[in-house]
Chains A and B, each alone.
Chain A
């Protein structure tokens, strides 16, 4: 019994004590090293391969080819277009959906359904979505047949599920859930006091959103939209499953350049296309960082 009464030895260091910065940084080492090796490693080989020819000598030819050849220009144009459009559509609708969920009753099952479904849909990648859309809007899909029944012949109007429009429609299906995930914390950060103060000063709901909520949310909205843009720009699985690779997208060009059923020299051009994508993503990330810094200014502590 005496052992119960003995005070346990005091911990040698208190948890609350602020550690020296370099020791605190040590705890991040495994995580940082992992990302460096398994994310940084592949990126390093993409960049070095893009900047050298087949024998390994340095050259800019691949990069030049990747931005001047018409087929790649077309691929970049449609990749950028589909990413921008689906990011905007997904962002706008995602905000409305997130806000609708947040203002519903906290106990409503709707909340769980939307939040869990967002996770699954945002991260499942495009394959099941592509097949679901074939089932809905393919030539013999349920929605296609239904619309035909009420007099709208989609395929007669020139719609095809394996076109850029069809692909965009499918992208929005994972863009909206990702927006809900990304923007919900920012929406939760809108303090009720701000709305109450505005209302006490006579502001309408519209005036509150126009002059208070939207300006506060703007950086977070911009940042999340940029992530959505990057997400669509990076996507390839949907196109692969939906179209078996006929749509001109940068990701598609990279895959076919790598698969070696074209000229052997194309391998380095494929890496150069990858390099171009990394540059675009780099610009997007810098924008995201700047907006993120602004967004945190209003974050409730």
Chain B
């Protein structure tokens, strides 16, 4: 047993060094002042720079819309597959791998072609602003992990029993979904919403190629050309914030499960 414990210690030590050193270094770098010494000036730039603040609002708006669309697409589909159509589960799992491996730059190339060459109505309003243009495609990028997270959540609850009980009590399928299934998988739902936030706060490729330069990650990179410290500070802050949110969700979710077990 001691041998078994020893290899774990080695693995965790290497992982801790590899994963923590860059984060700690980034933290140190972000606190440096140009004149020497340390301070929070780089973080405070977010409050004083109207361009940065505006871009954060744009990205948060995109994130909320993306998360809602993703959940509306994913939850009914995942429930439907588990209840009525288990034979396609493997196929759908494969379909959700696609957006991981299809390069965003290739997607962007196709979208840019439409943007440049088709000027008819549905396209004109689609490309009107960064929110309308980017949200539909961020939904595609967010689908793989959202589907996985929601499906894992569904696997952990007695889905068929819950839905049948709700329907025996007279609920229609939509209200069973909304009032019974959704609360039961709320931590998976919140988890995928926050991962969507992570994606939107990190995506630069499509935004940059389609020339929507007013989203947070694009502005942060541009700021980095003149003030690297600000870029490092703000990306680190968004990374840590998302991770803390996810950690909170996992604790809240874990606690409720234990309470229902008792």
Contact = CB atoms under 8 A, between A and B. Distances in A.
Q: Are A and B genuine complex partners?
A: yes
Interface of A: 8-9, 11, 14-16, 18-19, 24-25, 27-28, 30-31, 34-35, 38-39, 41-46, 49, 93, 96-97, 100, 103-104, 110, 112-113, 115-117, 119-129, 131-137, 141-143, 172-173, 176, 178, 181, 205, 227, 230-231, 233-237, 240-241, 244, 251, 254-255, 258-259, 270-271, 274, 277-278, 281, 284-285, 288-289, 292-293, 296
Contacts of B101: 227, 230-231, 233-234, 281, 284-285
Contact of A237 (B111, B205, B231): B205
A131 B95 contact: no
A30 B73 contact: yes
Contact of B26 (A19, A132, A231, A240): A132
B181 to A, nearest CB: 12
Interface stretch (B7-15, B43-51, B55-63): B7-15
A125 B81 contact: no
Given A270-B109, A271-B109, A127 B235 contact: yes
Given A131-B235, A135-B30, A288-B97, A42 B105 contact: no
Contacts of B251: 112
Interface in B242-261: 242-243, 246-247, 250-251, 254
Contact of A103 (B4, B30, B93): B4
Given A112-B247, A128-B235, A137-B22, 14 more contacts: A28-B81, A45-B113, A97-B15, A100-B8, A100-B12, A117-B243, A120-B243, A127-B202, A127-B204, A132-B25, A136-B25, A235-B103, A270-B109, A293-B90
Per CB-CB distance, the 7 closest pairs between chain A and chain B, nearest first, are: A42-B110, A230-B101, A125-B202, A135-B29, A136-B25, A8-B170, A234-B103
Main secondary structure of the interface of B (DSSP, over half): helix
* Main DSSP-derived SS at the A contact region: helix
14 contacts: A28-B77, A35-B98, A39-B99, A42-B111, A45-B110, A110-B12, A132-B235, A136-B25, A141-B29, A143-B22, A173-B18, A271-B110, A274-B105, A288-B97
A281 B203 CA distance: 21
A131 B29 CA distance: 10
B19 A46 contact: no
Nearest to A138: B29
